[in-house]
Structure 1
Amino acid sequence: MTTAEKIMQACEAKHIVLSPLQGQQLADYMVGLLDINRSINLTRIVEEDEFIEKNIVDSLMLTVQTAPEPKTILDLGTGGGFPGVPLAIYYPQAQVTLVDGTAKKLRAVSELCDQIGLSNVSTIHARGEVLAHDKKHRQRYDWVAARAVANMAILSEICLPFLRKGGVFFAMKGENYREELAFGDKSIAINGGRLEEITPYFLLQREVLHVIIRVIKEKKTPARYPRPFKKIKEQYGTLS
């Protein structure tokens, strides 16, 4: 079985249907990323089956959510391109923006996207709490996704300002999400969001529990948010 076929099979088990072209693009991206990963730390997951499950399938679990198909997606703290690159492959008509604070990671991801023929991805080297005040990006996106970047309270303050009204913020979390939500509710509300649904799922044959926390943008975020990161961290930074 080829790597592309393995990816398609793993996705199909989660009711994610890929075309052969999409399967091959994901396989090519994985191979290229693992090669670059020898010199630039893009992922700690280097075993093929684990990579497919924890990076590719995990990213594409957003596609089975009950949310309108996006035209614009922002991936905050993309790292090695997850979940943004798999989403760009799955939604070729969507414009996907990858944001990260490490320029060399973004350069590597951008080069890989060019190599696999992915033309709907752009990268921005910036801090999210600063970029969210840029009129070109504030309240412009259908989806914003963040995967294990910070706790829920911090993420809500930084991510929700990017969304248009009716847009969706997806926080991708592990099994210890409940404590984060207990402290994150206030931040969600202040920034114009409403917690809509929590979707748990297992990876690696039920060995790993992940959840997707879906937050809907219902109101405009007050202009003062997000605050400088020092202020955000003073209030929420002790939460794990």
Structure 2
Amino acid sequence: MPRPYAYCAIGVRASSSPSSSGYSLLSAEERKQFDTYLESLFEYNAKFNLTAVKTREEAQERHIEDSLALLPVLDECVAEGQGQGKGLRVIDVGTGPGLPGIVLAVKRPHWDVTLLDSLQKRCKFLEEVKESLELKNVEVTWSRAEDVGRDAGKRGSWDLAVARAVAPLNVLCELCVPMLRVGGYLVAAKGPDPEAEVKAARNALGQLKAEVVGIIPVSSFGSHGQRTVVVIRKVGETPRKFPRQAGTPKKKPL
């Protein structure tokens, strides 16, 4: 049975082959930066639990290549909403050890990338990575997503929000949509069958003034099959009551 969003309204086509932005096609400088990042990740991971991945090969596949697979979709969102994306503001919500945000910052140095996480130890690691990789387009923010979305000075100020393995879609939408400008996109990395999450998020999307514009298979594969992204566009101003207080979206999903 075909998926209701087999193709995205913004023109991104499904991919069943290795991405043209995959690890094998990185420039020498990009490979060097990612090698430095992975060295730092494993060194820091010996003291603090940042990732369950134990080998360089697994990290390259599950972290770097999985993040690179999001780029074609993100690029199409940029082209649809803001031309070449110069000065584009991107927020990686629940970035963890910097994924996919660090990868995006390296590959798209003209994007301004905010790495948002609620744990101080992760943010400390990210600050060190930012310095070692000389990423001048990165800002690290230690905060809860709900608090950022409720901040009048930050609310509605990002063009793209991206999230990977953060929360179910109905929860994730409440965390991310208030951060976006009207016309901005949330790109949520999901598994091979996200339709149930999309259906469960309909009420949240309606209240937050957003809509699903596509479910896109990407060139990344896990144990359960080909991964996808759900692309959501903000179509109106989100009511001021959202997001609710920190912790409430998870405890009482819309």
TM-score when scaled to structure 2? Answer: 0.83
Alignment of 1:133-144 (within 5 A): 133-144=150-161
Structure 2 CA distance for aligned equivalents of residues 205 and 183 of structure 1? 23
Alignment of 1:209-228 (within 5 A): 209-228=226-245
Equivalence for 1:175: 192
Do the aligned partners of 2:192 and 2:224 also contact (CA within 8 Å) in 1? no
Query: CA shift at 1:176, angstroms?
Result: 4.5
Equivalence for 1:122: 139
Structure 2 CA distance for aligned equivalents of residues 230 and 39 of structure 1? 28
CA displacement 1:153-183 (0-9 Å, x = unmatched): 0000110011111111011112342221111
Query: CA shift at 1:136, angstroms?
Result: 2.5
2:160 counterpart of 1:152: no
CA displacement 1:35-57 (0-9 Å, x = unmatched): 11111111111222221121111
Alignment of 1:1-240 (within 5 A): 13-16=18-21, 17-65=25-73, 66-68=76-78, 69-70=84-85, 71-201=88-218, 203=220, 208-236=225-253
Do the aligned partners of 1:192 and 1:219 also contact (CA within 8 Å) in 2? yes
Q: Which amino acid aligns with 1:35?
A: E
Query: CA shift at 1:116, angstroms?
Result: 1.6
Structure 2 CA distance for aligned equivalents of residues 13 and 42 of structure 1? 27
Structure 1 CA distance for aligned equivalents of residues 170 and 224 of structure 2? 27
Structure 2 CA distance for aligned equivalents of residues 211 and 184 of structure 1? 16
Structure 1 CA distance for aligned equivalents of residues 89 and 223 of structure 2? 32
Equivalence for 1:8: none
Q: Between the two proteins, what is the percent identity of the paired residues?
A: 29
Query: Which blocks of at least 5 consecutive residues in structure 2 are unaligned?
Result: 1-16, 79-83
Equivalence for 2:5: none
Equivalence for 2:14: none
How many pairs does the alignment contain?
A: 226
Query: Which blocks of at least 5 consecutive residues in structure 1 are unaligned?
Result: 1-11
| Alpha-carbon spacing, 1:35–1:230, altered in 2? closer, same or farther (3 Å) | closer
TM-score when scaled to structure 1? Answer: 0.87
Query: CA shift at 1:146, angstroms?
Result: 1.0
| Alpha-carbon spacing, 1:174–1:204, altered in 2? closer, same or farther (3 Å) | closer
| Alpha-carbon spacing, 1:33–1:167, altered in 2? closer, same or farther (3 Å) | same
Structure 1 CA distance for aligned equivalents of residues 169 and 233 of structure 2? 14
